[in-house]
Amino acid sequence: MTTTELIAARADQTGAEATFDTQSALRFITCGSVDDGKSTLIGRLLVDSKAVLQDHLAGVTRSGETDLALLTDGLQAEREQGITIDVAYRYFSTEARKFIIGDAPGHEQYTRNMVTAASQADAAVVLVDATKLDWRNDQLALLPQTRRHALLAHLLRVPSIVFAVNKLDAVEDAELAFAHIRGALARFAQAAGIQVRGTVPVSALKGWNVVEPHPGWAGYDGDSLLQLLERLPVTPREVDLPLAFPVQWVEKPSADGAAASAGAAVSGEHGRRVFWGRVAAGQVLPGATVQVQPGGRTAVVAQVLDHARRPANVAAGHSAGIVLDRELDVSRGDWIVATAAAGAPAPAAPDDFAFDDETAGPTAAWPATRTLSTTIAWLDDEPLLPGRVYWALHGHRWVKAKVQRIVERVDIHTLAAEAATQLDANAIGHVELALQEAIPAAPFTQSRTLGALILVDSASQRTAGAVLVR
């Protein structure tokens, strides 16, 4: 099978027919607007699955009543003081599996935190507050934040999306409300092309359908939210793709020729630098011919070390140290990728952002490019405008990126594409970028690591946008 066929086959392996791992820990995020009950839901999951220590539980109990939200709101004070809180993670397990919850703030201005958490998640639970909706109307409109979170999770290729309709215990007719809200969610999901794993009515406050099912309530007799989560698959690692390895750290040899602090496996045999990082795609094997990007220099892998510095073959998702058969100028941020054929890099273009040719493309299994057609979730208060230049982070590599053109943006209410000349905060749009240097980017549908970047404002140093390669 050729490299192209291999990548195409991997891209097709996103349907239900793919074989998924349901035994590993599930990493999921909870999304929702402020006061939708997100903290209470997480607290309920932790308490009812017995993941909270008694002394911790006693600390959030007042007059015999447990304030579940306090279990996850401990960082709120720090957030209000301006201390950066990216994503708080909680861990718990049941007899069936382990879980990692990514708890991002619900405020609209913290959408970037939600994007950060979603980019690595196996599943997203989008919380819907029934009391905020016109639940008696069978054609009710969803809240913008519900649409935004579901759409972002979909764009970030979170494999499983679940809607949890909360606070149904606070409405007069829970069954009618759930039927209308579920209908609105289904219409939205169908229009957006979102495959929903389940829609569950829950009362995080009372615990109904969160951990234990509450048969018949709200006209629902299905699984509880936790039972549904226990069966969701984790994202398959990109093992069957060509090798892509972002260099995170270069370990230099000591004066006696051994790699600094390296074990015997490295020092005696080669005495060369060790390039450390986490394999993004494929496997790294001794004897494989690889290419270093940028530049297109080729080498052969002389030795591979695992995280414990033992000689091994290392697959995607695991840390590795690579020793090459020759000394090349490799730095943090460079990529070591599989090589399809030998070749020489093209000459550099005279203008920083003008280009006539790709560099090192024909010889790489992951061709490097300087032009990107992207979907961007814009997170900065300053709008995205054509002509502006940002720092882009791809793997561990920083490269300048210039906004060439804003093709269109998505109306999160109608999901229709509309003409645009700029993207405001929290907008999502189709944008063309030009990079100062070529990077081995690939469509996000093929590789989550190679197809994702972030944009950082060079002046404020704020994370400005989440970028997915189309």
- pLDDT, one tens digit per residue, over 109-123 is 666 667 777 877 899
Asked if 244-254+272-338 and 368-469 have one fold, the answer is yes
Question: Apex CA 37: angle with CA 33 and CA 41, to 5°?
Answer: 125
List the domain boundaries for the chain. 26-231, 244-254+272-338, 368-469
- Which of 96-105, 144-153, 215-224, 349-358 has the weakest average pLDDT? 349-358
Fill in the DSSP letter of residue 263. Answer: -
pLDDT, tens digit (0-9, with 9 covering 90-100), for 392-448: 999 999 999 999 999 999 887 677 889 999 999 888 899 999 999 999 999 988 888
At the topology level, CATH places domain 368-469 in Elongation Factor Tu (Ef-tu); domain 3 (2.40.30)
Average pLDDT, whole number, for the chain?
A: 82
Could you tell me if 259 and 298 are in contact, meaning their C-beta atoms sit under 8 angstroms apart? no
Q: Verify cis geometry, omega within 30 degrees of 0, for the bond prior to 383.
A: no
Q: Which residue in 123, 108, 44, 117 sits closest to 86, CA to CA?
A: 117
pLDDT at position 458 over 70:
yes
Whose structure tokens read 């909360």? 166
> pLDDT tens digits, residue range 29-77?
988 777 778 888 888 888 888 777 676 666 667 666 766 666 665 555 5
Buried (b) or exposed (e) across 129-142, using 16+ Cβ within 10 A?
bbeebebeeeeeeb
Q: What is the pLDDT of residue 357?
A: 42
pLDDT at 453: 92
Whether the model clears a pTM of 0.85, i.e. scores above it, the answer is: no
CATH no., domain 244-254+272-338: 2.40.30.10
- Is domain 26-231 annotated with CATH 1.10.1200.10? no
Buried-exposed string 349-372: b where 16+ CB fall within 10 A, e elsewhere: eeeeeebeebbbbebbbbbbbbeb
- What is the DSSP track for 3-72? HHHHHHHHHHTTSTTS--B-SSPEEEEEE--TTSSHHHHHHHHHHHTT-S-HHHHHHTEETTEE-GGGGT
Q: With cut-offs at 50, 70 and 90, classify the pLDDT of residue 254.
A: low
pLDDT for 1 beyond 60: no
